[in-house]
Each structure stands twice: as C-alpha cells, then as structure tokens.
A = this chain, B = another copy of it.
C-alpha cells in the first residue's frame, strides 16, 4: 500500500485535517497513532497494527455496518447490566480514543485499566497521564497485583480489583492469547477488531467488527439511549444477539465490498 503518501497526515494538530476530506477518518487515525508513538504511549508495532486495521476498514467501506451497530448496542446493554465493568486500554486505544474511552467509562460507570503487551513502567505511566489529560479520574493497571491464569508472567498482570474481578470487560484491539485467557476466566468479553477472522473477536461473547474510532462513541450513544431501560429490556437485547451472524456478515461485507 502506497497511497498513504499522497494524503499526508503530517499536521501539527488534528484540527488541521479537513473534516470533509474523503480520507478523514484514516488521516485522523494515522495522526493520532503517530502522536502516540511520539509521546511514548504507543509501541512502534502499534503503527503497523493500525495499518493492518486500516486495510480491513477500507474493505469494509469505512463505515459501521448494521451488524456492528447491533453489536455495539448489545455491548452497551452488557455494560449497563454489569456489576464490575472494566475497559482495557493499550497503547493504540490510548492514542486513538482516549477521550472516547473516558466518556464510555462515565456513561456505564466502568473502570479504566491500562493493560499492555509491551509493558514498561514508563509506558504505563505515560498512558495513565494521557487518560487523565482527557478527564479520567481513576486509572487502574498500575498495581498489577493479580494474574490472569494461563498466560506468561508479563502478559498476565492485571489489577485484583480491576480486570481480575470484572464480570464484563471491553478489550479493544486485544491479542488472541489474552482474549482467550479472559474468556476462560468466564468473563463476558467485548472485543473491537476489524478482522472478523482474527482470534480475539472469534472468542469474544460480543465481537464488534468496526473501527474503534467509530465503535466506542457509538457504544456510548447506545448506553445513553438505554440509560432508563430496565433489566428485562437489557437482558432481551443481550439474549437476542447472534455472534456468529455478526462475524459472518462482516466477513461477507469484506469479501463483496468495493476494494
């Protein structure tokens, strides 16, 4: 892929990117990830991962398809039903949707927990600071006083009163091993991933095949809309969800959509 070079994301501030630019979302995403790398919150490999994601998004048509919108509503219902919901934040999530994750945490009364593959104290601190700049009050993940079973030591670190104790976790852009280990712990897992056949969405209770930049605000919007719904209504939404259909529909869209 090469056309990236003709639409430079090389602006100092994201407000310089014209919102009516046909590649607006892609430019915004690249700009945020690049700033994340520069700020030390995103690993260089995160830039590569984002590039992969952008190709799948291109194939999806760079829009929230109806089955993803439905999955986002189901995710909102799960989060509202949860007793201890936690939103997991890695370097790409922090770079791409820091304010959006803070807003979602607010809307569903969830905790935010920093959770990194390439875990260093500096990066964890930088990400926590970054989230606080966007309004986060409490950020978990710094204690790391519990372990997810069946994962190697570094990858397993979580907070005892955070992801470890959570009943519902949102793990956007999560890697397959950890997604699987969390599922084995019996958690209700909500994964956001642009490749419907990668392992994380396939093990998730709620796979959302959508760009995180569109998905997170949309989950928040659904949560606000459902704020007054009673438990029976939320359960009905959750029970009606067909995860296999969501994955299949996304795959069909990728195969048949405009390249």
Contact = CB atoms under 8 A, between A and B. Distances in A.
A245 interface: no
A156 to B, nearest CB: 14
Contact of A45 (B9, B173, B194, B251): B9
Interface residues of A, number: 47
Total copies of the chain: 2
Contact of A195 (B44, B194, B259): B259
A53 interface: yes
A176 to B, nearest CB: 5
Contacts of A254: 259
Q: In the A-B complex, list the 8 residue pairs whose CB atoms are closest, starting with the nearest.
A: A51-B51, A55-B55, A1-B52, A5-B175, A48-B51, A47-B47, A51-B52, A197-B259
Interface of A: 1-6, 8-10, 30, 33-34, 37, 44-45, 47-56, 58, 117-118, 173-177, 179, 193-200, 251, 254-256, 259
